[in-house]
Chain A
Amino acid sequence: MQNLIKSKIQKIIKRCRDTSIQHIISVSFTVISVVGMVTVGGALSLRFINSTEYMVSENNKSMLDQVNLNLDSYLRNMMKVSDATYYSAIKKKDLAIESIDKEMNLLYETNKDSLISICVFSEDGDVLSASPLGQLKGSVNPSKSEWFSKALTKKENLHFSTPHVQNLFVDPDYKYRWVVSLSRAVEITNNKKATSGVLLVDINFSGIEQICKNVNVGKSGYVYLVDREGEIIYHPRQQLIYSDLIEENNKEASNYEDGNHTETFQGEKRLVTIKTVGYTGWKIVGVMPMADITSDYEQISTFAIFIMVFAIFILVFLNMFVSSRIANPIKSLEKCVKKLENGVKDVNISISGSYEVQHLGTAIRSMVNQMHTLMDNIMTEQESKRKSELDALQAQINPHFLYNTLDSIIWMIENENYDGAIIMVTALARLFRISLSKGKNIITVRDEIEHARNYLTIQNIRYKNKFTYSIETDEKTLDFASIKLIVQPLIENAIYHGMEFMGGDGEILVKTYSKENDLYIDVIDNGLGMLQEIADTLLTSESKIEKKSSGIGLKNVNERIQLYFGKNYGVEIYSEPDEGTTISIHMPGVDFYEMKKKGELR
């Protein structure tokens, strides 16, 4: 398994490595932009959600505070009515003697909108006084009511009941009103005897309803009211709850602390805000379905997704465009290079795109041009090398020289000068051996000098000692490498141009030495010499003087040296009329055997 994954990853990496620059740019840009968009979008929407939730819950809280304030003042008002009835009417008067109807009527009239009735009951449940005045229904026994018993069991408190139908008095319109009963135990002075009784203030339920009804908590949120035990006092869909058509989480809600809670009720997540009303212990419960908040998010998030997709769409195209702008010049350049690789000669290297790529293009173009000239140069060089080698080869078997020499030998033998003939033939044989030297182009200085010596020997005999010669060699230089047959043409020149007119006192000196690690071979004669200006032209221009020689003259020697060792080396001519000429061969001082080891010989 691990191996599989590894190989897969490697495959992907390999594929990445092999893909084009355009692909890499466009894909990586796109990935980055998509990741960026998603992160930014996600972060923003998360922030949005958080702040909205916070705002909504704060909003709900302040809304409930407002409801609480209203409800509290409403209930306090009712309690004041109860207090006023008790302290300013009931306590002050003996009910057996005086009537409190006037005071109660006044209180009732001033609070008519929010009251249904104010009544005082005796301990047994008889009506002592009531406002508005009404006839107690025959079927009703107030002392059995909950509010009555509660008031008597806890005398010091005021009691708020749950909503119920007021059924105490006969109503000619058959109206049944829902009320919340505020009851308290009172002390009644009856015939100067203090007895206890119950004071009942029936609060019109619609007053409470009005307070809670028009509270808007979100789109589909609502506010309801429960008492200490969780019984519903007010609910916008109260009748539906009573009819079991819907349910409410009121029992749970009564256990909540004040503040915000989230709960899941009947599969619906909702935000519940609780506020306890002072004194009564009622709780205002604000319910807001989470869907109200989240439906907003959904809309916003779909919008955000749309924007994101749209932006990604545009970005991808932008990336594609940019990457093609970057990559296309490189690609065309690469194509040109590929053509070059395949050996196509006339490639027009494109120069386009950004500055860097343009620079690359021009550099490659100039490189190619340079390469072409270099290649041309090499070709011509090779050509001339071949030609000069051929020339040298020809020189090895100069028929004219051979014929003259053999002629001399014949002549010697005829004159019975056998010793001379033997010397001649031996020298000739050696000459040819060296000049062949197994077809090698590079030989030791020793052999080269030997070759020159043999040549000089032969020529000296042929020219009947018209000149003398000497060879001075530096021991150090003898093992250096030298190009084959470069000294002999110079000697030939010296003999033809220097010695022929000398009449016996011509001298030729061949000298080898090394200076600053370079090898020098000088051929010095004391012949006619020439002007230095003429000498300087010998190596450069086509000189007619050469024609007389064996055909390979100075120029050939110079060229061959330079072809082998470079332009720094070659032949130098120093001459002065009537003084003589010095031709100096300059070559690098390289040990022949080392060269051989390295295999640089040809």
Chain B
Amino acid sequence: MKKKKKQTFIILLLLVILSFLLLLNDTLGHENDKRTYNISIITTGKNSESLMIMKQGIDQAASEMNVDISFVTLSEDNNAVEQTELITREIKNKADAIIISPVDYEKMAEPIESAMKIVPIILIESTVKSHNALQSISCDNYKLGVSLGEEMIRNGKTNSDVAIIKNNLENSSVKERYDGFMSVMKNTKNKCVFWEFSGDTQLIYHNEAKAFLEYNDIDAVVTFDSDILEGFAQAKKDLSSVNKEKKSIQIYGTGSTSKIISFLEDKVISATAIQNEFNIGYLAVKSAVYKINRKSMENSNISSTVINIKNMYSDENQKLLFPFVR
């Protein structure tokens, strides 16, 4: 009888303790949900205009997931050393995760791999050379290059002189676009002229593009960088007011800054290939949060499309091109 009493006592006591733990866990669990994350985003350059849309995606995700974003731009475009320093600085600043768009496929590989051991790192747009298959949140850049090439063919440039600007090929996304584009060019009778800018400021782009267009007789220009695209467009616009002939030069590129769009509307740019940057920003933050919590996220594809003057105001494309200003 006494033993039995003791048994019931112990069982009941355990029950009480269990329910108490349940209660405690419940309240603690709720507090856990409210954790804020500090996530740093390191870009490839100083120009944040091209990142406008991506930033909106980032902000949207940040407000949904309780994230404090610190946006870090480089003082100089595509500077690998500076980017490496910034990674270390952000780690020191106790970032929970770092979202980075690597400037160089090879040079950034080592710093990113070592940083990865300390904090979760999410790559966007480009990737780095690594033994681990590092997933980068980006559209299929090769396909984007292919689409751009196909658009060019659709516009009748199958037997023309095409200038290809090879800047930033150390950046994997640019490289993939380039490869995609070149794979289309191989099957055409287009004569490819390769060119590389020596500087990396807007002014240099503009001047060099102007000089290049003035002294070369070419039918089309292809670039895989939005800044250079802007430079060429501006140069073409300037030149065509003097020389009507230059108006027929077709300019193809990537990016969707409002300047590019207005050039597109003015028919200065023939087509631009864009990716859904809003999604990149949103998914980057989302996967960073998932990685902090050690959850796995399914890969989602970022859509990309080629925009020209005819389709730019279609329902889908205007949603891609013109994000809501908040």
Q: Which residues of A are at the interface with B, using a C-beta cutoff of 8 A?
A: 137-139, 164-165, 167, 171, 174-178, 205-206, 209, 237-240, 242-245, 298-299, 302-303, 305-306, 309-310, 312-313, 316, 320
Contacts and interface: CB of A to CB of B under 8 A. Distances in A.
Interface string B29-70: 010000000000000000000000000110010001000000
B278 A316 contact: no
B62 to A, nearest CB: 13
20 contacts: A139-B309, A165-B318, A165-B322, A167-B313, A171-B262, A174-B262, A178-B322, A178-B324, A178-B325, A206-B325, A237-B60, A237-B64, A239-B324, A240-B60, A243-B276, A244-B303, A299-B26, A305-B19, A306-B19, A320-B5
Chain B interface, >50% SS class: helix
Interface of B: 5, 8, 12-13, 15-16, 19-20, 22-23, 26-27, 30, 56-57, 60, 64, 258-259, 261-262, 265-267, 276, 278-279, 282-283, 300, 303, 309, 313, 316, 318-325
Interface SS, A side: helix
Given A174-B261, A310-B19, A238 B278 contact: no
A174 B259 contact: yes
Contact of A243 (B15, B23, B282): B282
Contacts of B23: 302-303, 306
A313 B5 contact: no
Most chain A C-beta atoms within 10 Å of own C-beta, residue among B16, B27, B261, B324: B324
Contacts of B320: 242-243
Contacts of B283: 245
Given A165-B322, A174-B261, A243-B276, 7 more contacts: A138-B266, A139-B267, A164-B313, A164-B318, A176-B261, A239-B323, A240-B282
A309 B278 contact: no
A215 to B, nearest CB: 16
A176 B16 contact: no
B284 to A, nearest CB: 12
A373 to B, nearest CB: 38
Nearest to B9: A317
Nearest to A302: B26
Residue from B13, B20, B26, B320 with most neighbouring chain A CB atoms (10 Å): B26
Contact of B258 (A175, A312, A313, A320): A175
Contacts of A245: 279, 282-283, 300
Nearest to A320: B5
Nearest to B258: A174
A7 B283 CA distance: 66
Contacts of A239: 56-57, 60, 278, 319, 323-324
A160 to B, nearest CB: 17
Q: Chain A CB within 10 Å — which of B19, B313, B325 has the most?
A: B19
B313 A302 contact: no
Contacts of B15: 309, 313
Contacts of B19: 302, 305-306, 309-310
A138 B265 CA distance: 9
Contacts of A240: 60, 278, 282
Contact of A316 (B8, B265, B266, B313): B8
Contacts of B318: 164-165
A305 B22 contact: yes
Contacts of B13: 313
For the complex of A and B, list the 3 residue pairs with the smallest distance between their C-beta atoms, beginning with the closest. A242-B319, A174-B258, A306-B19
Contact of A177 (B12, B259, B319, B325): B325
A292 B313 CA distance: 39
A37 to B, nearest CB: 13
A70 B123 CA distance: 44
Contacts of A299: 26-27, 30
B303 A313 contact: no
Given A237-B60, A239-B323, A242-B319, A302 B12 contact: no
A264 B137 CA distance: 31
A309 B324 contact: no
A566 to B, nearest CB: 51
A316 B7 CA distance: 13
B265 to A, nearest CB: 6
A167 B261 CA distance: 11
Counting chain B CB atoms within 10 Å of each CB, the highest count among A137, A239, A298 belongs to A239
